[in-house]
Structure 1
Amino acid sequence: MADSVSRPQPLVYSTRSRADQALLQQGRRLLAAGYRFVTPTPLTHSRVNARPEHQRATDLRGVFGWSRPFDDQLFDATRLAELQQAGIVERVDGGWRATLRWSSLGPLLLAHSAYPTDEADAVFFGPDSYRFASLIEAHLQQRFTPLRRAVDIGCGAGVGALLVARARHEAQVLAVDINPRALRLSAINAELAQARNVSVYHSDVLDSVDGQFDLILANPPYMQDSQRRAYRHGGGALGEQLSLRILEEALPRLNREGTLLLYTGVAMVDGHDPFLDAARAVLAGDAYGWTYRELDPDVFGEELEKPGYERVERIAVVALTVTRLR
């Protein structure tokens, strides 16, 4: 049984450092100021920032949403020193630039990587996050079985874990990732959201955490990324490898009537869905009930111009929902 497998002791992330507490304080300041920002696609971000009037930030949204450089005069000396202590501003172009973004998700405010997300350990938040959130919220509204234990695999900024934790206060919710930067920001975002039933662990999929789950969430990277950035590169021929691994390793860890909610993207080749074919093979038999649907038929069209995507017609966003029947 999965429960009896000996696993490495997971590393737990908590927000105890002075820099973490300073970053938390900045998040609280933004909430108190009524700050809101909806993060668009990278192409939209680039196009909006390219407008002449947007070369410099003039307000909080310009600094912490649009990632625009700003001048010393935008903040007083005390506030600027606090931002430096939090480690979220750096000198650039004769002024400053935030190294993090803050984005809104309903009443929540989440810290994640600044634009552009070029670093190998960048922490993603964007339109996929909003679609993933809608999928989770719809599932929770329709779920009538108890939810005692849940895990968000590859938690990133912590979207899945936070939504479940706030909707099910009695549940133990784990947020796991292999990216230390994601663990830090997930822990900060959980504390900012006062989601005290969230625990943040370092784990490669579920390798470092024990036990069974009533709900397993995952929004893994699904692109073929030449830079192999953690938030984009899914591995395999067309980015599908990690999604399939999560499917295979999550199924034995589901309790009876437990559900895997997998949000991912699929590179469609000659009108064919290779991920669905592979998933069918994994789910063969009568132990699981499952549904599969396209949420968006065409995302990240610019990727089709890159090497490796020559035969791909489109990239679709899909939701695979699997429930253990026995």
Structure 2
Amino acid sequence: MLKEVAGTGYAFITPTPVTHQRYLDQRSRDQDQDVSLRDIFGWNSPFASHQLAPSLLALLQQAGAVLAGNPARSGVRIASLDGDLLLHSSFPTGASSSVFFGPDTYRFARFIRHALTEHVLSPNTASGSAPHSTVRILDVGCGSGAGGIAAARMMQGAGRECSLTLSDINPTALRYAAINADVAGIPVRLALGDTFAAVDGQFDLIISNPPYLYDDNRRTYRHGGDGLGRALSVRIAREALTRLAPGGQLLLYTGVAIIAGADPFLDEMTAALSSTGWPWSYTEIDPDVFGEELSRPIYQHADRIAAVGLIVCRSEGPP
């Protein structure tokens, strides 16, 4: 189904849930509008069976991805990212097994592209893997697989061979990620498990965009644990340090609740990295994301939630 949609020239940039709901509310007040593929698979609007090509409807039904109703809705959405199309969950994403895609995904992909250009693929940068060796990539908590696919695309564009492992605790995420990678033409290995539990060995590039909010319902795709959602990011970063091959890179994109002007995630990472002697950098990518979360009581002492990027380069010697 995804391949057939790709053949139509479909493209859709997935917005925030707030923007998405605002669009649906506005559309519900408009009558007699045509329904396009962008409406069905992007905005996840209801559709009648005659409004979708029979071949696409059949494929959607075969996949069990039609949500019951009159009219019906697609059980998946499709987002575009740099020429690739990626499946993710229908709107709204209320289930714990939901597969996220949104503005954070686009920021994550830009962070990966910039970091690889500056720190891995630059002719002036020494990397642990020789220019003609296979770069071992691991995407931890891969979700839709967007980050891993973006990294592999960068390697392909630079003429570098790579092997990509996609890891997630959510079986639905791995299913979607496998489909997305297949349609993108990128071979992958799938690993079902929590963080690094299902993978062995070391990697030349570890990337991750873990959930970083505190979710009262503990939904997997959204809940980052204690510390107002930063605990999972801290754990992934610390575990990644033991899995980097000599010369390897960690690219971690996450969010942190800033409290009284201080960044507690940066404080924890500074302490964890101080004994390694490895070069690292830290950037505030967006100073204010998910502002609507700040109205929740648990965030009452937070100034804002910032999107941040951590880059760690393992030295060639022993850790």
With structure 2 as the length reference, what TM-score do the two structures score?
Answer: 0.90
Pair 73,216 (structure 1): closer, same or farther in 2 beyond 3 Å: same
CA distance in 2, matches of 1:59, 1:245: 43
Contact 1:55 1:68 in 2 (8 A): no
Task: Determine helix, strand or coil for the equivalent of 1:280.
Answer: helix
1:149 partnered with 2:126:
no
When residues 55 and 301 of structure 1 are mapped into structure 2, their CA distance, relative to the original with a 3 A threshold, is farther
User: 139, 149, 165: which one pairs with 1:162?
Assistant: 149
Q: How many residues get paired?
A: 299
1:201 Cα shift? 1.2
Gaps of 5+ in 1: 1-25
**Distance in 1 of aligned mates of 2:54 and 2:280:** 56
> Alignment partner for residue 24 of structure 2, among 18, 36, 49?
49
Q: CA deviation at 1:56?
A: 7.3
1:113 and 2:89 matched: yes
**CA deviation vs aligned residue, 1:55-90 (integer Å, no higher than 9, x gap):** 977111000000111122212555433321122212
CA RMSD, 1 decimal? 1.6
Contact 2:4 2:56 survives alignment (8 Å): no
What CA distance in whole angstroms lies between the structure 2 residues aligned with 1:122 and 1:57?
A: 28
- Aligned partners of 1:135, 1:54: CA distance in 2, in Å? 41
Higher relative contact order (CA 8 A, sep 6+): 1
For the residue of structure 2 that corresponds to 1:263, the secondary structure is strand
SS of the counterpart of 1:151?
strand
AA at the equivalent of 1:240: R
Partner of 2:166: 175
1:14-163 equivalences in 2 (<5 Å): 26-51=1-26, 52-53=29-30, 58-75=35-52, 77=54, 79-92=56-69, 94-142=70-118, 143-144=120-121, 145=127, 146=129, 148-163=135-150
Matched, 1:210 2:186: no
* Counterpart Cα distance in 2 of 1:54 and 1:141: 48
In 1: Cα distance, 2:229 partner to 2:50 partner: 45
TM-aligned CA deviation for residue 293 of structure 1: 1.0
Shift of 1:229: 1.3
For 2:72, what is the secondary structure of its paired residue? strand
Query: 2:297 is paired with a residue of what secondary structure?
Result: coil
Residue in structure 1 matched with residue 307 of structure 2 by the alignment: 317
| Of 259, 274, 284, the match for 2:264 | 274
- My pick for the range that moved more, 75-84 or 250-259, is 75-84
Distance in 1 (CA, whole Å) between partners of 2:34 and 2:98 is 22
3-state SS of paired residue (2:99): coil
CA distance in 2, matches of 1:80, 1:168: 36
1:150 aligns to what SS in structure 2?
A: strand
Distance 2:32 2:298 in 1: 35
Structure 2 counterpart SS, 1:237? helix
Q: For 1:238, what is the secondary structure of its paired residue?
A: helix
Q: Distance in 2 between matches of 1:289 and 1:39?
A: 35
CA deviation after TM superposition for structure 1 residue 96, in Å: 0.6
Tell me the distance in 1 between the aligned counterparts of 2:294 and 2:272: 28
Q: CA deviation at 1:114?
A: 1.0
Structure 2 Cα separation of the partners of residues 280 and 174 of structure 1: 28
Q: Is the contact made by 1:48 and 1:54 (CA closer than 8 Å) also made in structure 2?
A: no
Q: Which amino acid aligns with 2:313?
A: T
Partner of 1:249 in structure 2?
239
CA distance in 2, matches of 1:172, 1:28: 23
| Identical counterparts, % of pairs | 47
Stretch deviating more after TM superposition (198-207 or 303-312):
198-207
- Choose which of 156, 179, 188 in structure 1 pairs with 2:179: 188
For 2:145, give the aligned amino acid.
G
- Structure 1: distance between partners of 2:31 and 2:254: 33
Opposite residue 301 of structure 2, the aligned amino acid is R
Matched, 1:225 2:212: no
C-alpha separation in 1, matches of 2:276 and 2:88:
40
